[in-house]
Amino acid sequence: MRAVASAVLLAACAGEPVSWEDPDPARLGIDGLEGPYGAASIDLRASARASEAVPVEIVYPCDDEGEPDVSDAPTVVLVHGGFVVPDRYRWLAVHWATRGYVVAMPRADWLLAITQPGNGEVALRALREASADDGLLEGVVASDGPVAVSGHSLGGVLAAGQWAREDGVEGLVLLASFPAAGTDLSEASDKPVVALAGATDAKAPPDDVESHLEPIEGPLWYGVVDGMNHYAWTDDPTPVELAGDGEQTRAVDDTRRDAQRVLDTWLDAWLLDDADALGRLDGEFPGVVQP
């Protein structure tokens, strides 16, 4: 793994766990719906770059007591977009947690991930350090377990950088985003990518997203979600955000579920080595068009 200009010196829990979803064995985690686990989160503070503390929220699968209910689980690092607090993506982190994934969400200073491009690496190392300790998160992920990095908008640009340079990161999930021009993708020529754009997104129009995905050499699944705009990926969009976006022409929950069908299948295929899921990626998904 290539070294980055940051080093995790300490990962400490800050606060008590919070439960977001109760477990339910009747939930099967198929067709874009939640899985059987509950979902809870705890905040870490990871010391990095010698004098900075990076807040990282860990969302994990839990039992009915809010205790972790997995071991050696796959990890998704989720990087927020510009000026968007990570909390606004918790809906997606909770969804993935109910399906058995552990999600690490770092928060950048001034809510601009580009000012701290190593925060994804910091978050992953902090989670692994906490998992190796004897605290609440003991054993939830392995030190060399499967990892995907994900990001929305500007967060996807940073996620793409981590994916391209870090050997231990298998997959990249781009939400209304693409790698920045000049990103060195040479070390990621065989790594898989899933990219979703919204059909009515005015910030990252589908044609722009598609054209910027051309340098990706590895397995790429690209789709456009019908009726989805840029900020449907976030909870509580502001009037200013919506004024600069395209119109959301379908219910947000419906477009999110369409997206989740793809993302769930892709994560299971590549992080769990699920051959059935990999086969389903060759089929069609409701509400999502592959150009």
Domains of the chain from N-terminus onward: 10-289 (3.40.50.1820)
Which of 150, 107, 143 has the alpha carbon at shortest distance from 125? Answer: 143
Q: What is the pLDDT of residue 51?
A: 58
Q: If you average pLDDT over residues 188-216, what whole number do you get?
A: 97
Kindly report each contact of residues 159-163 with a partner whose C-beta sits within 8 Å and lies 24 or more positions away, as own/partner: 159/77, 159/79, 159/120, 161/117, 162/77, 162/120, 162/121, 163/188, 163/191, 163/193
What is the rounded distance in angstroms from the CA atom of residue 232 to the CA atom of residue 121? Answer: 26
Asked if the model's pLDDT at residue 5 lies above 70, the reply is: no
Residue 7 pLDDT exceeds 70: no
User: CA–CA separation, 269 vs 246, rounded Å?
Assistant: 32
Residue 23 near residue 62, CB atoms below 8 Å: yes
Confidence (pLDDT) at 83? 86
Q: How high is the pLDDT of residue 148?
A: 98
Contact, 62 vs 132, CB < 8 A? Answer: no
Q: Is the pLDDT of residue 263 over 60?
A: yes
Q: Which three-class secondary structure state does DSSP give residue 190?
A: coil
Report the pLDDT value the prediction gives residue 182, as an integer from 0 to 100.
Answer: 86
CA pair distance 132, 143, nearest whole angstrom: 8
| Residue whose pair of structure tokens reads 């918790």 in the numeric block | 90
Q: What is the pLDDT of residue 170?
A: 95
Residue 4 has pLDDT above 50, yes or no: no
